[in-house]
Amino acid sequence: AYSELFTSAALVDVWRQQHPDEIAYTYMRNDHDYSDHSSRLDTVLADPITAREIKRCKIHKMAAFADHC
């Protein structure tokens, strides 16, 4: 459903475009096994022309804080 929204709105997930095979998360629960309770909640969406102009999109491995609870 989420990817259908991108397609219908003609938007590109910029991070995924730049990192097609990488696994990374922007949210990890501290109280359980990370692999079972992790998600990439944050996305950078752009139209295809703008997405090609973005030079780098990166997920920082360990942030000191998060805005997701």
What is the model's pLDDT at position 24? 82
| pLDDT for res 26 | 77
Q: What is the pLDDT of residue 7?
A: 74
Query: pTM for this one?
Result: 0.66
- The list of the chain residues with pLDDT below 70 reads 1-2, 28-38, 61-69
Q: What is the pLDDT of residue 17?
A: 92
* Distance (Å, whole) CA 62 – CA 46: 25
d(CA 14, CA 37): 23
> CA-to-CA distance for 37 and 27, rounded, in angstroms?
8
Dihedral sign, Cα of residue 37, residue 41, residue 42, residue 47: positive
Residue with tokens 């259908």: 4
**Which residues are within 8 A (CB) of 54 and not within 5 positions of it... i.e. 6 or more apart?**
14, 18, 44, 46
